[in-house]
Amino acid sequence: MKVLVTGGAGFIGSHVADALLADGHVVHVLDNLANGYREQVPAGVPLHVLDVCDPGVRDLFAVHRFEALVHLAAQIDVRRSVADPAFDARVNVLGLLNLLEAGRIAGLQRVVFSSSGGALYGEPVHVPQGESHPERPQSPYGVSKLVSERYLAYYADVHGLLTVSLRYANVYGPRQTPEGDAGVIAVFIEKMRAGLPVTIFGDGRQTRDYVYVGDVVQANRLALRHPESDAFNIGTGIETSVLALYRALATILGVEPGYTPAAARKGEVARSVLDTRRATDLMGWRPETGLDRGLARTIDWFKSRAAEPPLR
């Protein structure tokens, strides 16, 4: 299959591009390199340096006639979405529409979309949150993911596009850097390795469901060949508080530099944990990497990264 991976020079996208190439697909990458790195694009894979909102996207689809789109490029910073909701919508909603229209005209057949579980559902009515949980996003970022899923449903119903939305928990692992829109694990590891205290917002009891990037890659591989349009939670079903995460990292690293408390951040939910049984039942997907093992692998990557020249 000929596949375009947007955000394929970034954290999750580069891992997905690696896997799809290994599976025998013809892979292209689209990335504006705002948060991605050329060096992370697999060797031999064409890199198209474009923004998802660029009109040139239509020419790209017209020339290459991609059969599938794996859409990972996004504005993912909840805080920025609160501060600048118009920018968030431009990238996450209008960018998606630009890709879908380009694909519709050029014969695109299927889309795998990176959505968000915690941001989409908001504060839980019950846990773990299944796919039928009420959708009550508490940030513009969450709203943009909800709107995007609605547009995908429209393109599936009206234009026959096969669409699978993967509603991620908090993804972590190698290649997630502490710069830009990084997740808490990357930020904590970098600071703790340097002997610096980390910042914990709120009381530290807020919980997240941390899923390893290798398991997320497997979900994308399975979604690409799923026979129907659908949406699936991709997480572990295990809640971990920020304080517990800090202690786990301190144990693995053998350091405990302490933390600085700060006010809770607007737009962020206090509790998030996903029910992934539908993904297991219908796609055969399940998380394979426990948090301790995943954190150890991520720390090893940070150590190896420190010995190499900077990316870019």
| Cα–Cα dist 18/8, whole Å | 9
Return the residue matching tokens 């990084």: 182
Kindly state the average pLDDT of the residues 178-196: 87
Listed range (24-28, 95-99, 262-266) with the worst mean pLDDT: 262-266
Catalytic residues: 141
Listed range (32-46, 132-146, 234-248, 256-270) with the worst mean pLDDT: 256-270
Kindly state the average pLDDT of the residues 92-109: 98
Judge whether residue 219 has pLDDT over 60. yes
Q: Per the omega criterion (within 30 degrees of 0), is the bond before 197 cis?
A: no
Contact in structure between 67 and 4 (CB atoms under 8 Å): no
Contact in structure between 68 and 108 (CB atoms under 8 Å): yes
Judge whether residue 91 has pLDDT over 80. yes
Half-sphere exposure of 178 (CA within 13 A, CB side): 18
What tokens were used for 7?
């955000």
Kindly state the average pLDDT of the residues 18-39: 97
Question: What is the DSSP code (8-state) at residue 196?
Answer: P
pTM for the model: 0.95
Contact in structure between 101 and 60 (CB atoms under 8 Å): no
Contact in structure between 50 and 26 (CB atoms under 8 Å): no
- Report pLDDT digits (tens) over 253-311: 999 899 999 999 887 889 999 999 999 999 999 999 999 999 999 999 999 987 664 55
The separation between the first and the last C-alpha atoms of the chain, rounded to the nearest angstrom, is: 29
Q: How many CB atoms lie within 10 A of CB 84?
A: 14
pLDDT at 182 (0 to 100): 61
- Report pLDDT digits (tens) over 138-171: 999 999 999 999 999 999 999 999 999 999 999 9
Contact in structure between 165 and 152 (CB atoms under 8 Å): yes
